[in-house]
Chain A
């Protein structure tokens, strides 16, 4: 077929358009080609249709029983997982807000349209998007407990939320156990958690301006790029810009609904929800607590909130060790480890390690020595951290011990910096 446009030039421009960014001159060129030829536009539509189909394509994900986050609750509830089709959404009407999307969301209880705005909700895992009638958009990341309190407010008692308020709206409120955060036409994130002494709320302003509770003045303003932790203690409110030796950062929060959230290879994981012990773990004030139970909680990336992080960290100066108790002697032959990068900080992962097993918890035998890669980049929200699988000859074991030999350090901190150690996100153990 004869064409009235330069199809190889259009192909080249489409490749740039779909995978990169067109320069100003290229934009002028593609506009001219498409404007002048119906055949060129048909070519464009065909390519873009496929591109859009690839964007919504989801690899098959097995729907598996998903355990509750904490092992202790396992007896009380039976979990049903539902991976909602991406791109589609569940739309529950209400006078003030709607659930306009979710990704791999698991809820504590069934919620009807009426309930959504009346009773507190608990998102156990995954992501949900609320859209208010005013246009305000809230992305929630499980585990999260919240309640829609009015057309201009939400109360988050636990978990992560990001709020995007259109510029024409003035004053959307996000209430937390440490006080009210008022959004003045902007985008910001919170991680609502707690420490032994009271609520700890991490906040970061991505764009615009917000007001938060303050120490001496009634309110304090934060602007784009600012991040602070709000501590509500017996003495009152305290604001800090660093916690646990790191600057407060919510860089890893989801600012839009992730398209996918997959948990591959969950089926048959003998370690899931099983008790884990370690001689010591990193535990400091302001909710900087990283116990070994996080290693079998089914959360495969560095997420969470103060007091409820999803990964394990060894104490400072140690590569660390921990032992998983499978509760009965079973044949095992494969172990998958998900390293940590300590959220956006990019340090503290395990490097070299050995694995030992035991039937009685007393006599351990080394079964393998391995090395984990550093996780160089922060994966997008909803994407599991990369994992590495180690195979070994079938062995009978009830206890699996991982002993760190070395760990990754912060790329910009000297080796003498005391604030470093080992850590790991998740361990999965499988039958041979």
Chain B
């Protein structure tokens, strides 16, 4: 029994390898424009599909990420057109602004992941468990709050403080890496 695996060979497979390598950065980019986990997941799927279909248009001499981000940006706006207004978080104009500013790359993403892993270990067990629980698939802040006898707002406040600790820890680790 083995897991599925493939070796990049032809141009389409090369593109697939690029997509795989950039998947985390692309997901983060989409989430920054559409900060709703379920909607962002759907857009990532659709973006992958479009990238796959457009494989023939891709020029391997050009960097992959700007091309993929352009398509993702377009897919976010398409999703916005399809979704009812009350499901929108950001308006179209703001999405364009955010899209132009955020230039993710897989190297920075993997450095961030590495720093985050270390920073999580520096947290107290209690805080670490709380924040990891929050980010388990389909975890609900409401449910977590109920089992802890807290109001959702109070729990959200705690989570927010832990994220801030992580933010400054990660920032510090990344800046010392640079020097």
Contacts and interface: CB of A to CB of B under 8 A. Distances in A.
Interface of A: 11, 14-20, 22, 24, 27, 30-31, 34-35, 38, 41-42, 44-57, 59, 77-80, 82, 84, 87-93, 98-100, 102, 105-113, 124, 131, 133, 135, 137, 256, 258-260, 377, 380, 382-383
Contacts of B90: 31, 34
Interface in B125-151: 131-132, 134-139, 141, 143
- From DSSP, what is the main secondary structure of chain A's interface residues? mixed
5 contacts: A15-B160, A49-B112, A54-B116, A256-B38, A383-B136
Contact of B32 (A30, A45, A93): A45
B135 A88 contact: no
B56 interface: no
Contacts, number: 184
Given A57-B116, A90-B6, A107-B1, A34 B98 contact: yes
Contacts of A108: 1
A91 B19 contact: yes
B112 A53 contact: yes
A48 B2 contact: no
A54 B137 contact: no
Contacts of B19: 91
Given A15-B156, A19-B141, A383-B138, 5 more contacts: A41-B101, A99-B4, A135-B49, A137-B45, A380-B139
Given A53-B28, A107-B2, A17 B89 contact: yes
A137 B13 CA distance: 21
Contacts of B102: 45
B170 interface: yes
A18 B157 contact: no
A259 to B, nearest CB: 4
A34 B49 contact: no
Interface of B: 1-6, 12-13, 16, 19-21, 23-24, 27-28, 31-32, 35, 37-38, 41, 45-46, 48-49, 52-53, 86, 88-91, 93-94, 97-98, 101-102, 109, 112-113, 116-117, 120, 131-132, 134-139, 141, 143, 152, 155-157, 159-160, 163-164, 166-167, 170-171
A258 B137 contact: yes
Q: Top 9 A-B pairs ranked by shortest CB distance?
A: A380-B138, A82-B3, A52-B28, A15-B160, A19-B156, A259-B137, A110-B2, A91-B16, A54-B135
A42 to B, nearest CB: 8
A17 B16 CA distance: 33
Contact of B88 (A27, A41, A87, A131): A27
Contact of A106 (B1, B45, B136): B1
Contact of A16 (B53, B143, B156): B156
Nearest to A26: B89
Given A77-B1, A106-B3, A260-B137, A57 B97 contact: no
B23 A88 contact: yes
A15 B109 CA distance: 22
Nearest to B86: A24
Given A91-B20, A93-B12, A131-B45, A46 B86 contact: no
Contact of A260 (B1, B101, B136, B171): B136
Contacts of B13: 93
Given A52-B28, A77-B1, A98 B52 contact: yes
